[in-house]
């Protein structure tokens, strides 16, 4: 992540608030998580099944995987938009998106799409406000898997998971997980070393790979063409 200085002269070091917010946006890279065995169906019809599988618990949150299985491979427009709709991306018809929400035992809530008040990214000064974000995934055809990152850790007590996907005939469903087991697992996560702030200059550009001489790759490089065949 880049941090631009206010005077337009380049980059500046992230503030403590910036650093705190960045650490909330994804699982910490200086920890090894503790696993929690979870495998539960959130919703199922004759054509679609949605399950929550596994959890990796860190000191400040939990990463879990949402597994979606379709009985028939989607066709037409739905085939092109399935992955986006699974992840809560905006759709022409908001009823098409898969909705995922969680409610902590103390009443705090969060969901995978902005609420009507557009409570977007939590402020760094509000570490107790839950945040739910995508953390990698993929799929196609009849199978999709998407990881989500939830921070902070839920408190002890029931953790309610609410799911709906009306585009495929799934109304609102509610599933209760053991939030206490997740909260307690946070104490078993291993901190490897102190967290480091991100490089304000951004990631280092990877070196250009060396290609064998006299072959196709060398000819393409010599011709100055990109990987898509267009002039470089």
Res 80 pLDDT > 80: no
**Domain of 62: which CATH number?**
2.60.40.1640
Give the global pTM.
0.71
**How high does pLDDT run on average in the chain?**
77
Name the range with the highest mean pLDDT among 11-25, 34-48, 124-138, 216-230: 34-48
- What is residue 118's predicted lDDT score, i.e. its pLDDT? 40
Neighbours of 162 (CB within 10 A): 16
- Give the residue from 88, 101, 106 showing the smallest Cα distance to 162: 101
Name the range with the highest mean pLDDT among 54-68, 135-149, 161-175: 54-68
For residue 125, tell me if it sits in a domain. yes
For residue 141, tell me if it sits in a domain. yes
For residue 100, tell me if it sits in a domain. yes
For residue 196, tell me if it sits in a domain. no
Indicate the length of the chain as a whole number: 232
- Give the residue from 207, 193, 199 showing the smallest Cα distance to 12: 199
16-32: per-residue pLDDT in tens? Answer: 666 666 677 788 889 99
- What is residue 70's predicted lDDT score, i.e. its pLDDT? 87
Question: 39 lies in which domain range?
Answer: 16-191
Res 89 pLDDT > 60: no
Q: What domain count does the chain have?
A: 1
* Cα 39 from Cα 213, distance rounded (Å): 52
- What is residue 122's predicted lDDT score, i.e. its pLDDT? 54
């Amino acid at each position: 992540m880049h941090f631009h200085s206010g005077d337009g002269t380049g980059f500046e070091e992230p503030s403590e608030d910036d650093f705190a917010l960045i650490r909330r946006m994804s699982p910490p890279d200086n920890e090894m998580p503790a696993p929690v065995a979870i495998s539960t169906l959130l919703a199922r019809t004759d054509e679609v099944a949605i399950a929550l599988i596994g959890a990796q618990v860190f000191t400040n949150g939990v990463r879990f995987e949402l597994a979606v299985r379709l009985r028939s491979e989607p066709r037409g427009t739905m085939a092109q938009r399935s992955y986006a709709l699974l992840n809560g991306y905006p759709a022409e018809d908001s009823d098409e998106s898969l909705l995922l929400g969680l409610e902590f035992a103390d009443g705090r809530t969060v969901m995978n799409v902005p609420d009507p008040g557009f409570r977007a990214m939590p402020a760094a000064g509000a570490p107790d406000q839950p945040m739910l974000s995508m953390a990698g995934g993929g799929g196609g055809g009849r199978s999709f898997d998407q990881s989500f990152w939830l921070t902070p850790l839920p408190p002890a007590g029931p953790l309610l998971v609410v799911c709906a996907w009306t585009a495929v005939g799934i109304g609102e469903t509610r599933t209760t997980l053991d939030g206490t087991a997740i909260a307690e697992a946070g104490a078993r996560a291993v901190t490897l070393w102190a967290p480091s702030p991100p490089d304000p200059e951004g990631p280092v550009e990877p070196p250009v790979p060396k290609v064998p001489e006299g072959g196709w790759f060398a000819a393409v490089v010599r011709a100055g063409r990109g990987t898509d065949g267009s002039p470089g």
